[in-house]
């Protein structure tokens, strides 16, 4: 079996599966149960100044019978006393010396406040810190969380403050609520961060009860925007992780977060540049024991690929991501229907006719009417393939021979824009 152990910015853990800072890491007994289940590390629910939470904190996005494909929360950082959390962190690390115990921190933007909580926290024997510059609700209105992460200068400044008194690795957790993830990533790197983690949750209003006309979650007839996470955010997270992994000025490890439910999800993050992954919503949905399948699945995948270590796949797909202007304009695919597998639902025809490029017609085989693609008109957009419910009924076939690839940038001689990071 492959070696799943990782060394993330100097923090060792038996596997790359960590719990993200969230309700599943709210207290020592929970983290200990998670470690017993097989998790390699845990980022403690964020410590800071005492807060008061509200009731009715969660709302979900469902898709038919699939519950909670997206989760919205308005819960804040820990509401438990700092000294109680610190005591439990100390006891947990002492009991599980080979697992990663990371302390997430968030306090007001004052050097002395950050110095004080860092000094107190590192006395617990924890393995490192994660600076919460991502929380989009509640704390951001107080000048913390995403309010820090959305301003690169603040991200750099606070990271520097922590590094002034910290002798432990510092991970900066970035907010996705920005137009470009590169400037805050570079700012954290400039401030001395040892690693980055992302994404935190996305600003969202989950929905409205159309009978009462009150948005979710309902807090005595009122609602507030919250943080969106879960399966539905994975594509956004993968994009932002890959953006940082591709940037030449960011040469520190990345912890991938967002929509990870299975070992396959984890592998995708690792391939796109993450050195480990953090999980939250899936655990809130299914419990700690999902890590068993994650570990088994990753082991089997690595064995199938002939890899001796999980480190062998980190970043392997990064060079497969590029700007649109570098894509091959001569690459040509078309859709083809296999009548043997077609169930004649005609979804492909409807989708193409009303939502794409009108490339379908019909023909009869043995008295039955089947869709057929007008290949000269097909642009290879994939829509029919994506909506088709019958495996093997539609295939995307490559027509070009791969010779002389040509990109838009080569045709126009246009150079990519330079990102300053300022």
Model pLDDT, residue 418: 62
Active site residue 388: no
pTM (2 d.p.): 0.95
Model pLDDT, residue 1: 85
Residues ≥6 apart with Cβ < 8 Å to 401: none
Model pLDDT, residue 419: 55
Give Dmax over CA atoms of the chain in angstroms: 81
Model pLDDT, residue 416: 72
CB 200 within 8 A of CB 173: yes
Q: Where are the alpha helices (DSSP H) in 52-172?
A: 82-95, 111-122, 146-149, 152-165
Q: Where are the alpha helices (DSSP H) in 97-224?
A: 111-122, 146-149, 152-165, 182-190
Q: Which two tokens stand for residue 317?
A: 């797909």
Q: Which two tokens stand for residue 28?
A: 């020592």
| Rg of the chain (C-alpha set) | 24
- Smallest Cα–Cα separation from 265: which of 273, 283, 255, 277? 277
398: exposed, middle or buried (Cβ count in 10 Å: 0-12, 13-18, 19+): exposed
pLDDT digit of tens for each residue in the chain (422 aa)?
A: 899 999 999 999 999 999 999 999 999 999 999 999 999 999 999 999 878 999 999 999 999 999 999 999 999 999 999 999 999 999 999 999 999 999 999 999 999 999 999 999 999 999 999 999 988 886 877 887 888 899 999 999 999 999 999 999 999 999 999 999 999 999 999 999 999 999 999 999 999 999 999 999 999 999 999 999 999 999 999 999 999 999 999 999 999 999 999 999 999 999 999 999 999 999 999 999 999 999 999 999 999 999 999 999 999 999 999 999 999 999 999 999 999 999 999 999 999 999 999 999 999 999 999 999 999 999 999 999 999 999 999 999 999 999 999 999 999 987 776 655 54
Q: Give me the domains of the chain, ranges plus CATH numbers.
A: 6-320 (3.20.20.70), 324-398 (3.30.70.20)
Exactly one of 126, 135, 280, 352 is catalytic; name it: 135
CB neighbourhood size of 405 (10 A): 13
Between CA 243 and CA 167 the distance in angstroms is 29
Model pLDDT, residue 49: 87
- Smallest Cα–Cα separation from 365: which of 349, 351, 344? 344
Between CA 228 and CA 59 the distance in angstroms is 9
Model pLDDT, residue 415: 76
Q: Which two tokens stand for residue 112?
A: 């002395």
Q: Which two tokens stand for residue 393?
A: 């009924």
Model pLDDT, residue 200: 95
Model pLDDT, residue 422: 47
């Amino acid at each position: 079996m492959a070696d799943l152990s990782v060394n993330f910015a100097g923090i060792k853990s038996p596997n790359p599966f960590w719990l993200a800072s969230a309700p599943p890491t709210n207290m020592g007994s929970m983290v200990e149960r998670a470690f017993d289940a097989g998790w390699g590390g845990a980022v403690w629910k964020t410590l800071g100044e005492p807060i008061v939470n509200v009731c009715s904190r969660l709302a979900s996005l469902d898709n038919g019978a699939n519950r909670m494909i997206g989760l919205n929360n308005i819960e804040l950082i820990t509401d438990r006393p700092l000294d109680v959390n610190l005591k439990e962190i100390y006891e947990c690390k002492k009991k599980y010396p080979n697992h990663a115990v990371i302390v997430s921190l968030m306090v007001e933007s004052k050097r002395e406040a950050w110095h004080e909580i860092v000094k107190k926290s590192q006395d617990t024997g924890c393995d490192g810190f994660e600076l919460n510059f991502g929380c989009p609700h509640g704390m951001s209105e107080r000048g913390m969380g995403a309010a820090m992460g959305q301003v690169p200068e603040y991200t750099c400044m606070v990271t520097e403050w922590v590094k002034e008194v910290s002798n432990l690795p510092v991970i900066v957790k970035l907010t996705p609520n920005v137009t470009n993830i590169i400037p805050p990533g570079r700012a954290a790197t400039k401030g001395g961060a040892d690693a980055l983690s992302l994404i935190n949750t996305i600003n969202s209003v989950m929905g409205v009860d159309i009978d009462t006309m009150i948005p979710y979650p309902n807090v005595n007839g009122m609602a507030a925007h919250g943080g969106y996470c879960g399966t539905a955010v994975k594509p956004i997270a993968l994009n932002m992780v890959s953006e940082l992994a591709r940037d030449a000025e960011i040469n520190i490890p990345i912890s991938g977060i967002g929509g990870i439910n299975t070992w396959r999800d984890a592998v995708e993050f690792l391939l796109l540049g993450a050195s480990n992954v953090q999980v939250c919503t899936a655990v809130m949905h299914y419990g700690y024991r999902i890590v068993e399948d994650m570990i088994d699945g990753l082991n089997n995948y690595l064995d199938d690929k002939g890899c001796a270590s999980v480190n062998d796949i980190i970043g392997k797909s990064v060079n497969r991501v590029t700007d649109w202007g570098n894509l091959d304009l001569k690459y040509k695919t078309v859709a083809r229907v296999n009548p043997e597998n077609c169930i004649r639902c005609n979804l492909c025809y409807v989708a193409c006719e009303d939502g794409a490029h009108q490339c379908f017609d019909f023909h009869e085989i043995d008295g039955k009417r089947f869709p057929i693609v007008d290949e000269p008109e097909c642009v290879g957009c994939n829509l029919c393939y994506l909506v088709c419910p019958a495996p093997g009924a539609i295939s995307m076939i490559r027509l070009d021979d791969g010779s002389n690839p040509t990109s838009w940038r080569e045709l126009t001689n246009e150079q990519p824009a330079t990102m300053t990071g300022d």
